[in-house]
Amino acid sequence: MPFKNLKHQATTIFANDKATAKERMAQICELLRDGVGYYDWVGFYFANHDTKTLHLGPYVGEETDHTVIPFGKGICGQVAVSNNNFVVPDVKIQDNYIACSMTVKAEIVVPIFKDGVNVGQIDIDSNTIDPFSPKDEEFLEWICEQVAMIM
């Protein structure tokens, strides 16, 4: 896994305060999709706690109709409620799954916390069954910590 190298590259992106937070997050999406062979769609969703909805932010990959997701719906919506990482090794066996593409086989969602509040999440779809390991979770938790600092 190339996480050590990706961490170094991501640190450079996060440190570029000449770019907006949104621009840096878009660069992170590209870095992750291009750097990890089984990350086929990488994006951020951000919470609106008043409407209890998630709103799509920067992403790379196939276009999605899922630009607004209610809390509790799908994997992302469940993470907005549970505040926990959610790894789905095989989306076919997940009851509350929102299909974005017929090619998606697995998904991982990790929340972003700012001042103790779940403000969003990184969502990664893979076209490979069961590709995610604890190393992915650990790396993505670090990514989310860095995103929180630039928000």
Residue range 89-138, pLDDT digits in tens: 987 887 666 666 678 899 999 999 999 999 999 999 999 999 999 999 99
Determine the pLDDT at residue 65: 87
> What is the CATH number assigned to the segment(s) 3-150?
3.30.450.40
58, 64, 96, 111 from 53: Cα distances, Å: 16, 16, 16, 14
Find the mean pLDDT for residues 32-41.
96
Find the mean pLDDT for residues 36-46.
97
Residue ranges per domain, the chain?
3-150
1 has a pLDDT exceeding 60: no
Top pLDDT among 100 and 27 is at 27
